[in-house]
Amino acid sequence: MSDVMQTILNHKSVRSFSADPLSKKQVQELVTAAQSASTSSFLQAYSIIGVSDPLVKKELSTYAGSQDYVVKNGHFFVFCADFYRHKEMAQNLRADISESIQGTEALLIGTIDASLAAQNLAIAAESMGLGICYIGGLRNNLAGVSASLGIPAHVLPLFGIAVGYPETVHEKKPRLPFASVYHENHYNVDKGTLNAHLEEYDRTIQSYYVNRTENTRNASWTQQTTDKLRVPRRAYMKDFIKQKGWAQH
């Protein structure tokens, strides 16, 4: 097995970092790795905002539910879908691209581009012996995040990644069975097969939760996931996205 494959398969989210900052060289290497990801039609419709200021980190932590690891880490990266630069360069060329960049397809392109770049950065960080944790909690208050980071229209903050030197590393969480995720030639809608996979996975997750070293509990994946999805979250999102110039049609 290659070192790259081993790094990917060994991924664990880290939620406890030392306060030691990453060097400028490390930050540049990580961002360069992110930039090497695939991008739709070479649009490169994303931006990365690095956050090293403790006060700004504290603000972001508040928006994300007061998570300590948003404040205490080696460096914090915010990934954004971004068509601001495209709008500006089109204006310089006296071209109107507003209909394109205000469409739902542009939102998908920016989101996918940013996500691909983020995963490149995450793998690069872990290959360097660093830990990472994705922070979707920023979406609790994107207006606050945008204000704290000076984000203009046509730029949408999507999530953060905390990167740093791990203080505590927990066990790897088992993923869904391969056969539950991978479909050959057509989507398998057989409910018997699906339920068998879910029952198998529930047993695996229940064993994981009972036997892990910290925060043990008796829980199944199907129950906790269903409970999480019962109540819609971030109902403001549709209006906010449109207000920022996205998904107008």
Examine the domain organization and report whether 17 and 44 are in the same domain: yes
- Residues 6 or more apart whose CB falls under 8 angstroms from that of 138 comprise 60, 63, 64, 78, 145, 157, 158, 159, 160
Examine the domain organization and report whether 32 and 113 are in the same domain: yes
| Cβ atoms 114, 80 nearer than 8 A | yes
**Is 174's pLDDT higher than 90?**
yes
CATH number where 24 lies: 3.40.109.10
Split at pLDDT 50, 70, 90, the class of 167 is: very high
Kindly list the distances between the CA atom of residue 172 and the CA atoms of 10, 33, 74, 115, 159, in Å, as whole numbers in the listed order: 7, 24, 22, 22, 22
Task: Tell me if 243 is assigned to some domain.
Answer: no
81-135 pLDDT, tens digit per residue, is: 999 999 999 999 999 999 999 999 999 999 999 999 999 999 999 999 999 999 9
> What is the structure's pLDDT at 169?
80
CA–CA gap between residue 124 and residue 130 (Å, rounded): 9
**Structural domain span for residue 206:** 178-228
10-65 pLDDT, tens digit per residue, is: 999 999 999 999 999 999 999 999 999 999 999 999 999 999 999 999 999 999 99
pTM of the model: 0.96
Examine the domain organization and report whether 125 and 223 are in the same domain: no
Examine the domain organization and report whether 91 and 160 are in the same domain: yes
